[in-house]
Amino acid sequence: MAEEIATVPFSFELYPPRTDTSVQALHRTIDELAAVAPQFISVTYGAGGSSGGRSLEVLKYIREHTNVDPLAHLTCVGNTYAGATTLIREFLDAGITSFLALRGDPPAGTREEDINLGDLESSAQLVQLIDRVQAERVPFRVSEVPGIPGAGRVDRRSRVRIAVAAFPNGHPRSRHASEHIDALLAKQAAGATLAITQLFFHADAYLAFVERARQAGVTIPILPGIMPITNPARLNRVLELSGEELPSELAIALEIEPTTEGQRELGIEYAANLAREVADGGAPGIHLYAFNNHDTVLAVLREAGILIQKENVR
């Protein structure tokens, strides 16, 4: 195959393998995704706990076997300052310097008022904690002075990348229309360097959200998160989890298509059109939820014209 290059930056999200037998399959997926040079690959992580577990194993594989930046998810729900600090240090010790700070979803069947948030009540507080732990661990860096053997110069420390979530159609727990933008401003003020949106189904939702966020004072890049939906069952599950409105055009197309392959092609086409539209509208990149499968997200990038063969570039 001819070498492929990107016309727009892109990244992927994966989740840790659920069984030992799926580890090798995930490694192959990571290798295939890394081969097209994404900006980063993020790995999801469950709430609570003081050990990176399988998430850390995947992040280490990305760091040690590819040239791609691994990005670790961290959540607030059920976590304490001590537990979160231990976990952040564990990731930093493994060479992980990119994070996605999330409030986290409540456990299934738990009411909002019964959620154990622990010591961290918002993702903005988690952003601050990540930055503080890294600053305590590496308060500065020393670089050599050219021409003066043994001399060193104290420079500012390298900052970690801290991404946060953004919600184009509003957060499901928002109490007023602009609360999700106010929350994004708070995350930015806490030290966030990047935002990644939850899924959406229409380009206008993302583009209008970015415009409102910019008018409110958000200056960090806002990556659109796009999820290829390749069958009705997945669409229904995603809508149940996200609270997004039913995308009727996609839903009808998937329901009336009789074959699995046909449904897959429809989902790829829909996601590719969405990626193309937001890229044309000025998105700084595309973040794709991969479901631990490389074929579908790579097909989306190719159909969108974001990943093209080098020989076709003029």
Q: Report pLDDT for 231.
A: 92
Q: Is 116 helix (H, G, I), strand (E, B) or coil?
A: coil
**CA-CA distance, 259 to 95, in Å (whole number)?**
45
What backbone phi and psi angles, to 5 degrees, belong to 157?
-65, 155
Q: Report pLDDT for 227.
A: 95
Rg of the chain in Å (alpha carbons): 20
DSSP 71: E
Active-site positions? 13
Residue 309: strand pairing partners? 4
Q: Report pLDDT for 49.
A: 43
Q: Let me know: does 133 contact 123? Beta carbons within 8 Å.
A: no
**CA-CA distance, 202 to 247, in Å (whole number)?**
8
Q: Report pLDDT for 156.
A: 65
Q: Let me know: does 123 contact 187? Beta carbons within 8 Å.
A: yes
Task: Give, in order, the Cα–Cα distances in Å from 109 to each of 24, 114, 122, 159.
Answer: 33, 10, 21, 38
pTM of the model: 0.88
Q: Report pLDDT for 81.
A: 85
pLDDT in tens, the chain (314 residues): 568 888 999 999 999 998 888 999 999 999 999 999 999 999 998 544 444 578 999 999 999 999 999 999 998 876 788 888 999 999 999 999 999 999 876 655 555 555 555 677 789 999 999 999 988 887 656 667 777 777 776 666 567 899 999 999 876 565 655 788 999 999 999 999 999 999 999 999 999 999 999 999 999 999 999 999 999 999 988 888 777 788 889 999 999 999 999 999 999 999 999 999 999 999 999 999 999 999 999 999 999 999 998 765 55
Helical ranges in the chain per DSSP H:
23-34, 53-65, 81-93, 123-137, 179-190, 203-216, 232-242, 248-256, 260-280, 294-303
